[in-house]
Structure 1
């Protein structure tokens, strides 16, 4: 069983993914970290030195590589992963893959990103109003791809434990 978590940055993919992997007793993989290990550079350095097109090609390549593996895992995707190179089609058409969209409100995302600005270069220089507009625009553009996920879980006003339980309840092969 492979579980892919998708959603906008700040939607909780990493936090939920780590907890879900513990509960399911399967490994957790963060796609961005996987790419960094494979290439030997940070995502920021890849974007700066090699460009976004190179990054998106590698992201697609490594996503397919991971989904071809025989073992079970929880995979946290980058916020943009579903939107490029036909990645959502690869995910939803792959057997034994459950894709879960962590549907998070704009206000919740903005609140979380406000607290994490230092570690989020894309939004580091935006004030709260600009950040709200930035997130709303991106969510609107990306929702077409996110909504293709086989499962959707609303995360706002829920604890990590509640979200993980909700995901576990919708998994096809509950352990």
Structure 2
């Protein structure tokens, strides 16, 4: 009975398991911001999060799996998919959210984490691919919805090339924050590239 009582909170959304996960994730982001990826251990993550390192190993297995989970989880929690009724409105709102997120307190650390993971061999490349796949899923949601409305749509990679990549590069090289006009211009340039309907 006692074992069941101890396990129950881990299954409840917002219970102890969710709090531990959030604390561990925030510890990773803080350590990446302070030291860079590869300059801290699971033990240091656990100490900062206030949990036992055995809890971290039991849940994630190793530091690479943990940091990959942090990057993907951060991304899925940010930049909600807008539904304004038009592709232009959706892209403007989405780009504004992305700009806000990546220039926020954790954004640069997460971008640096993804770049570092992508240079870490096959498992790192998988982490990078998972990150990009989640971004593509977000964009496909908007683009598919716009296509169903009969709007002309770009490819998902066009959104990456013309909206996300310029913002990511500026953040990584310290050229931010972005003005609303800059973000709007990125969206407008992409939409101007769309071929006219036959």
Instruction: Please classify the TM superposition score into its range, dividing by the shorter chain length.
Output: 0.3 to 0.5
Structure exhibiting the larger radius of gyration computed from Cα positions: 2
- Per the normalisation by structure 1, the TM-score is 0.33
TM-score of the superposed pair, with normalisation by structure 2: 0.30
Identify the structure with the greater helix proportion: 2
